[in-house]
């Protein structure tokens, strides 16, 4: 396994909460959590660590700053010719946007998530946001391009016409409207965002991890494959889950009126 970067615990904080939830917090408040090489390296390592750790059942991406979730790419790094360090070979921008993940990720957004910061949030499966936050891809206002997945992920999460407007104008969408349109899962006040994200992660982590993983695997491919192919991969996932130890444990625990003890296999 790759050696733990020094930036873990400095630019990016990581801990396990509630036993099965990986909590990540971007920690460059003086730079509005802009992504530099240290952030990308740390996030890339944490992605690998959370996937490897069988005890982790859900992951939350949050911020230590109330000023910004993330302002995106650190332009000072780009101006110094270090733009290539803002991505990792396996994870893409920020070590996250192209990373292969099987476990569910939740973005806890209590401040603006713009440009690459919006793309980091869109890399997660679910978003919990504060009512004063907003999301946007302002790259076109600067002659740039949202190349970390934002231009197509936004269209997958919003009605197409709304997404086209946001992409073409570069104007942000306020969180309450994003919630009404389905981009945001849960809307609350800034001081309650992290607790709400943890509550959502707990609701996931009490379920059988293998069932969650395989169900999400099929759900994530629903945008890309025809229904005939989805039936095939769904059947394979079903056979794997129903043949697992957890598939036996769940009904027994129900009949015995106790909480199931999942093994993830």
The span from the CA of 51 to the CA of 102, in Å, is: 7
Averaged pLDDT for residues 32-51: 95
Domain end position, chosen among 190, 205, 220: 205
Answer whether 11's CB lies under 8 Å from 28's CB.
yes
The predicted-structure confidence for 124-149, as pLDDT tens digits, reads as follows 999 999 999 999 999 999 999 999 99
Does some domain include residue 173? yes
Q: Enter the DSSP assignment of 35.
A: B
Write the CA distances from 116 to 36, 113, 150, 233, integer angstroms: 11, 8, 8, 32
- Between residues 263 and 163, the one the model is more confident about: 163
Same domain, 28 and 159: yes
139 included as an active-site residue: yes
- In the block, residue with structure tokens 């440009």: 115
Residue 195's pLDDT is 97
The predicted-structure confidence for 81-133, as pLDDT tens digits, reads as follows 888 999 999 999 999 999 999 999 999 999 999 999 999 999 999 999 999 99
Residue 35 token pair: 């992504």
Q: Which of 11, 77, 139, 196 is catalytic?
A: 139
- Between residues 213 and 82, the one the model is more confident about: 213
The span from the CA of 74 to the CA of 123, in Å, is: 18
Residue 171 token pair: 């104007």
Of the CA atoms within 13 Å of residue 247, those in its CB half-sphere come to 12
Same domain, 227 and 108: no
Same domain, 148 and 231: no
Same domain, 32 and 153: yes
Give the number of domains in the chain: 2
Answer whether 69's CB lies under 8 Å from 63's CB.
yes
Averaged pLDDT for residues 222-233: 93
Q: Which domain holds residue 219?
A: 209-255
Residue 123 token pair: 């890399």
Same domain, 142 and 247: no
Residue 255 token pair: 């009949």
Same domain, 50 and 76: yes
Averaged pLDDT for residues 206-223: 95
Residue 78's pLDDT is 86
Q: Which of 11, 77, 119, 196 is catalytic?
A: 119
Same domain, 195 and 213: no
Of the CA atoms within 13 Å of residue 166, those in its CB half-sphere come to 28
**Is residue 1's pLDDT more than 70?**
no
């Amino acid at each position: 396994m790759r050696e733990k970067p020094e930036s873990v615990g400095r630019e990016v904080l990581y801990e396990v909460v509630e036993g099965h939830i990986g909590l990540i917090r971007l920690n460059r408040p003086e730079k509005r959590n802009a992504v530099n090489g240290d952030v990308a390296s740390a996030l890339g390592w944490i992605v690998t660590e959370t996937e490897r750790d069988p005890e982790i059942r859900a992951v939350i991406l949050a911020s230590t700053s109330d000023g910004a979730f993330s302002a995106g790419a650190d332009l000072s790094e780009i101006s110094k010719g270090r733009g290539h360090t803002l991505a990792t070979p396996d994870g893409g921008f920020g070590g996250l946007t192209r990373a292969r993940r099987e476990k569910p990720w939740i973005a806890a957004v209590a401040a603006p998530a713009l440009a690459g910061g919006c793309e980091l949030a869109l890399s997660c499966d679910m978003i919990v946001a504060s009512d004063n936050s907003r999301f946007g891809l302002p790259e076109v206002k600067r002659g740039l391009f949202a190349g970390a997945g934002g231009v197509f992920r936004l269209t997958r999460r919003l009605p197409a016409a709304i997404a086209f407007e946001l992409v073409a104008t570069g104007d942000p969408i306020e969180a309450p409207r994003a919630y009404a349109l389905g981009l945001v899962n849960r809307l609350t006040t800034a001081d309650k965002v992290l607790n709400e994200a943890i509550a959502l992660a707990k609701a996931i982590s009490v379920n059988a991890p293998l069932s969650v993983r395989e169900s999400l695997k099929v759900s994530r491919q629903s945008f890309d494959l025809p229904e005939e192919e989805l039936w095939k991969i769904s059947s394979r996932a079903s056979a794997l889950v129903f043949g697992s130890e957890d598939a036996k444990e769940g009904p027994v625990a129900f009949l015995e009126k106790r909480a199931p003890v999942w093994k993830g296999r």
